[in-house]
A and B are shown apart, each in its own frame.
Chain A
Amino acid sequence: MKKARAKSITTATLLPKCPTGIQGLDEITGGGLPRGRPTLVCGGAGCGKTLLAAEFLVRGAAQFHEPGVLMAFEETEKELKANVASLGFDLAGLVQRKKIVVDCVHIERSEARESGEYDLEGLFVRLGHAIDSIGAKRVVLDTLEVLFASLPNEAILRSELRRLFRWLKDRGVTAVITAERGRENLTRHGLEEYVSDCVIVLDHRVNDQIATRHLRVVKYRGALHGTNEFPFLIGEDGISVLPITSLALNHKVSAERIATGIPRLDAMLGGKGFFRGSSILITGTSGTGKTIIAANFAQGACRRGERVLFFSFEESPNQIIRNMHSIGLRLEPLVKKDLLRFHSARPSLYGLEMHLATMFRAIAEFKPHVVVIDPITSLMDSGTDSECKGMVTRLVDYLKAGQVTSLFTSLTQGGHALAQSESAMSSLMDAWILLQDFEGNGERNRVLYVLKARGMKHSNQIREFLISDRGIDVVDAYIGPSGVLTGSARAAQHSLEKAAVLATQQEAAQLKREVERKRKALDRQIGDLRSDYEGEALELRRIAEQVGTRTFVLGTERAASGLLRQADTKVPSITRNNHRNGKTV
């Protein structure tokens, strides 16, 4: 469907179009209303028919140099000027510069009596005169149907209206005719049967006490057009129609990474933080610290010299600044430097569309690098599911198209299934960080984990994050036998582990000492043994020497005595050995 619309804008140039200058309407109609033909704008009371018609005329005169005639059947010129002036249109000035002629037709039935046949040539003359006087290209007939109440003869009126539309076409003016919505038909008096070229229906519906205006191009002969119902709103500068899917999915993507403002969180996101231009969702129940993370992110961005626009739907700017002060975040200097801008509004102040439009306007004006929406869920309460999803889609699209990094916080209702409650949004988000409370041991602690982060390596760990007056600190959570340990349980576990380590260390030291002692004892024993051995060896040597000397002395003494006794020398018994050898051979 998106492609189809994009195509229609480029191909449907066959029929000459008359640009309205109304934001979004030209996009839907592929360039504007059919030129030189009448267009019917119908809708109930208070849905902005007159304003749409007036804006068509005023913008035509001011932007497209097409003078116009406004023929009003309901309001006086003075009222009209005042009404459109409140929306920033200088009708009076345009009238003065002869760009627009306002002719107020005022007839009351009580004043008029009928006597015989008549026609509406007077109206034609007036209109013709007005057109000729300024060379008008555009004509607005605001609620022509009043004539049905004023002129009793409907047969004449109908034939004259038919003639009027024919006449308008012949004059070649682009006309907008407004009409009251009927019960069964598009218009109360069936004007649609005369205007066959383009019919736009406006609608003002109240859903859950919040009113939203819708616009639909019912018919556009000879051109492709968006047939959906588009929300529109009347803002300070006129009407803006917001096509839900005017943007195709072709944003530029950036590989640049930006820090989260919390170093440990960066580490969890592959060490670098989020992608620029991505959309980030932070969900958690109340009191889990969503705003704090958002504020940290904002501060981090401001420190890099980027502009941050902070939409706050629950707290006033001063309250946020004060609260963040308590955790050591000083935002007011950033606000003074105009790096950080707050935009606070109650969600119930107006409908979703109005919120969206004011946000768009604020973003277009400030051109931020980072947008924080805190929280998106309070906005979502003011619309139905599909409306909200549409709104978030458009917002994300818009921001992504502008390479703006967006951070949404989302309040999860207690007891809701997390993933389910966020299903509308989570698929639109590139990164999702979940904050949770852990209750136990009589205390409540906060943990955080990265549920998803498209396109980057990220930690799967649950981390406890501590909020102190120095800011946020993300620490490892302990995984104990009973689950994740946080807070004092984590501290207890921590000291328990410390004690265990200490005990092991002591044990080891003792063992070491023991071994040392044993070694020393061994050494001593070895020394003793060695000295024993050495003593014995010495003794042995001494004995051996003694024996040697004695033998020598004995030998010499024997030789001396042998000499004295003339003893013969001992002969070795070799011959006997030889004899035994010869016998065996």
Chain B
Amino acid sequence: MKTKTIKRRPAAAKRGLAPLWQLRLYVVDQTIQIAGSVREFKAVCETHLKGRYRITVIDLLKHPQLAKGDQILAIPTVVRKLPSPVRTIIGNLSDTARLLVGLDLRPAA
């Protein structure tokens, strides 16, 4: 897969304190504020999941066939592959509170 892995901390997973989080961020190049979204998303992950997450950014323009697998319609979409169950958050992640709820990092208010 020609996607770039942003952060990888295998040491954290090995410790077994918490499961490794696998997150996928689907984007399309020309859509708005992609760079900003990715940056924001990384910041949130750093805050809440330091050392035990892995983000894969997938550009659908380059890999359109991947959209089918995760049932992507909306852009951008974050898919939490692990831990199960799979969670999907759509939107440009500007609403951090909802993002955290969506990722089960904070109970729904």
CB of A117 within 8 A of CB of B94, answer: yes
Is residue A361 contacting chain B, with contact meaning CB distance below 8 A?
A: no
Q: For the complex, is A113 an interface residue (Cβ under 8 Å from B)?
A: yes
CB contacts under 8 Å to A, within B63-109, are: 64-65, 67-68, 71-77, 85-96, 98-99, 101-102
Q: Given that A105-B71, A118-B75, A121-B75 are known contacts, is A113 also in contact with B90, CB under 8 Å in the complex? A: yes
The residue that A119 contacts in the complex, of B31, B60, B64, B87, with Cβ under 8 A, is B31
Main secondary structure of the interface of B (DSSP, over half): loop
Contact yes or no, B87 A129, CB < 8 A = no
Query: In the assembled complex, which residues on chain A have CB atoms less than 8 Å from the CB atom of B101?
Result: 113
Determine whether the beta carbon of B32 is less than 8 Å from that of A121.
Answer: no
The answer to whether B28 has its CB under 8 Å from any CB of chain A is yes
CB of A111 within 8 A of CB of B74, answer: no
B89 with A112: CB separation less than 8 A: yes
Task: Give residues of chain A (91-111) contacting chain B, Cβ–Cβ below 8 Å.
Answer: 103, 105-107, 111
B61 at the A interface (CB under 8 A): yes
Q: Are A119 and B95 in contact (CB under 8 A)?
A: no
18 contacting pairs across A/B (C-beta < 8 A): A105-B71, A111-B88, A113-B87, A113-B98, A115-B89, A115-B90, A115-B91, A115-B94, A115-B95, A115-B102, A116-B92, A117-B92, A122-B60, A122-B72, A122-B77, A123-B74, A125-B28, A125-B60
A122 to chain B, nearest CB (A): 4
In the complex, whether B53 has a CB less than 8 A from a CB of chain A is no
Interface of A is mostly: mixed
- Which residues on the B side are within 8 Å of A122 (C-beta)? 26, 28, 60, 67, 72-75, 77
B: number of interface residues (CB 8 Å):
33
Residues of chain B contacted by A118 (CB below 8 angstroms): 74-77, 90-92
A79 at interface, CB cutoff 8 A: no
List of B residues within 8 angstroms of A116 by Cβ: 91-95, 98
Give per-residue flags for A117-149: 1 if the beta carbon is below 8 A from chain B beta carbons, else 0: 111111101101100000000000000000100
Known pairs A113-B99, A119-B75; list 7 more (Cβ under 8 Å).
Answer: A111-B86, A113-B90, A115-B95, A116-B98, A118-B92, A121-B28, A125-B72
**In the bound complex, what is the Cα–Cα distance between A428 and B86 (angstroms)?**
67
**Which residues of B pack against A, CB within 8 Å?**
26, 28, 31-32, 60-61, 64-65, 67-68, 71-77, 85-96, 98-99, 101-102
A residues less than 8 Å from B98 (CB atoms): 113-116
Q: Would you call B67 and A114 a contact (CB within 8 A)?
A: no
| Count of chain A residues near B, Cβ 8 A | 23
- Cβ-based interface call for A151 (8 A): yes
- Cα of A107 to Cα of B68 in the assembled complex, Å: 11
Contact B71 A114 (CB under 8 A): no
**Which residues of chain A from 484 to 501 have any CB-CB distance to chain B below 8 Å in the complex?**
none
Across the interface, which residues of B come within 8 angstroms of A107, CB to CB?
A: 71, 73, 88
Give, as a whole number of angstroms, the nearest-CB distance from B34 to chain A. Answer: 11
- List which A459-518 residues lie within 8 A (CB) of chain B: none
Choose among A103, A118, A120, A129 the residue with the greatest number of B CB atoms under 10 Å from its CB: A118
Question: Which of chain A's residues have a CB closer than 8 A to the CB of B28?
Answer: 121-122, 125
Closest Cβ of chain A to B60, distance in Å, is 4
Contact of A129 among B26, B32, B65, B96 (CB under 8 A): B65
B88, chain A: closest CB distance, angstroms:
5
Taking CB atoms, residues of chain A closer than 8 Å to B91 are: 114-118
Task: Give the distance to chain A from B81, nearest Cβ to Cβ, in Å.
Answer: 12
Contacts of A111 in B (CB 8 A): 85-88
